[in-house]
Amino acid sequence: MISGTNCITVLVGLNTAIDVTKLERPPLNLALVIDSSGSMEGEPMQYVREGLLRMVDALDPSDRITLVDFDSDAEVKVEYITGADPALVQAINNLEADGGTNIYDGLRTGFELMAAHADPGRQNRVVFLSDGMATEGITNDAKILAMAKGYSEQGYGLTTIGVGADFDVALMRTLSEQGSGAFYFLEDPAAVQEVFVEEVTAFLVPLAEDVTITADIVDNYILRAIRGTKLATVEGNHGAIEIPNLQLAHRETVDDNEDGRRGGGGAILLELLPRSGQPRVADVGELKLRYRHPVDKQYVEEVAAIQTTVAPDQIDLEQGVFDNPSSEKGFVMLNIYVGFDMAATRAAQGDLAGALNILDGLDAAVDGWLADNPDFDIEDDLKYIRMFADNLEQAGATADPDAPQPEPWPQD
């Protein structure tokens, strides 16, 4: 690891044999909540209008749409109407940017109106778009999350769309996870044009409800953390992830991206440490998946053993070994996350040079790995490592050429 510690990662993914082409999309009860604060003025709002108008063309006759915009407060533009209703197009064309950002009021209004028309035969969901931080009304993230969690626990979905570089990433991502929806990070506002169409055409019956994934690790190792989700808890060597419902990911490959947009799909990493004084063993632990079938409402349980494919006495932690390319990529992404976290912590404490040294070492390690493993995701991450370093240099930081650099990452 770039932090200097040995690390064992367990990559956890979910897949299904269900053929998506054979699934029928249920009609929608969709509340669209659009940030119309002053920062959305100009191109961002223009792209939002264009994206919403494209969405109208993709709607089915049985779909029902509610449109809410919010700035300093929320305003209902149309409520529970069809895409063929001229009032929807008129409301979209009349969206204007002005005022502050009252995220709580906008999101609450969208949830309330969607819930008022909730129907078990429909996909009942909110799609929430914002380019900024909460500046008016209730601005506390914990209170916004608590309000949204109450609706998520009733089975209502939430997709979040963050536009630009100034929105509340932690809030938007946690809202989407908690609401079992996609989280879009749109660096380029032009990508908004595609997102709404993707959302209304991709909604399907959930594959699983009330999902719990648990991990129990043997005492020879320490379960240090679960990465890749905020829905996880760790107590000793037991970890648990609780997800309201699961749907198919929109994104199918690392190259499935448009206009700088990334999102959909993913994996979870368990981060383990070898326990001091304990021998390494091949039987690492056990994963258990439990979920409710969305149609017959029966619970299903599956158990999978966590095992290494290399004999414990043959694992050289200085060199490392990977079971497969996905595990190797997961290890690289974990290092990027840890390196960013270390650099951000030092920068926040005023040690800009120390932060820059970490990023320079991270840059070299990532660049070296990419030379033998071309990958769009990691290449994009490297871009942000360099942006962070540029920001530090503009703030006056100077790297120390004699600072220790990390060893090249294992390639096995």
Question: Both 365 and 236 in a single domain?
Answer: no
Give the count of alpha carbons within 13 A of 248, CB side only: 18
- pLDDT at position 310: 67
Question: The tokens of 303 are what?
Answer: 């158990």
Question: Both 329 and 361 in a single domain?
Answer: yes
CATH code, 280: 2.60.40.740
**In total, how many domains does the chain have?**
3
Question: Both 150 and 100 in a single domain?
Answer: yes
Residue 2 lies in a domain: no
Residue 400 lies in a domain: no
Question: Both 57 and 195 in a single domain?
Answer: yes
Contact 336, 228 (CB under 8 A): no
If the chain, 412 residues long, is cut into consecutive pieces of 10 residues, what is the mean pLDDT of each piece? 80 78 81 94 90 90 96 96 95 94 96 95 90 92 94 88 87 86 80 80 71 95 90 95 74 50 64 87 94 84 89 64 82 90 94 94 92 90 95 90 65 53
Question: Both 130 and 12 in a single domain?
Answer: no
- pLDDT at position 286: 97
Question: Both 162 and 47 in a single domain?
Answer: yes
Question: Both 44 and 88 in a single domain?
Answer: yes
Contact 132, 167 (CB under 8 A): yes
Residue 320 lies in a domain: no
Question: For residue 110, what are the β-bridge partners?
Answer: none
Confirm whether pTM is higher than 0.75. no
- pLDDT at position 396: 92
Distance CA 129, CA 159 (A): 9
Domain boundary among 174, 202, 230: 202
- pLDDT at position 264: 47
Question: Both 73 and 176 in a single domain?
Answer: yes
CATH code, 102: 3.40.50.410
Give the count of alpha carbons within 13 A of 178, CB side only: 19
Domain that holds residue 347: 325-394
Residue 255 lies in a domain: no
Question: Both 150 and 67 in a single domain?
Answer: yes
Question: Both 310 and 380 in a single domain?
Answer: no
- pLDDT at position 260: 39
Residue 1 lies in a domain: no
Question: For residue 283, what are the β-bridge partners?
Answer: 307
Residue 184 lies in a domain: yes
- pLDDT at position 261: 38
Report the DSSP pairing between strands 283-292 and 208-217: antiparallel
Distance CA 338, CA 318 (A): 19
Question: Both 216 and 341 in a single domain?
Answer: no
Contact 267, 229 (CB under 8 A): no
Q: CA 150 → CA 147, 155, 166, distances in Å?
A: 6, 9, 27
- pLDDT at position 258: 45
Question: Both 13 and 150 in a single domain?
Answer: no
Residue 161 lies in a domain: yes
Residue 258 lies in a domain: no
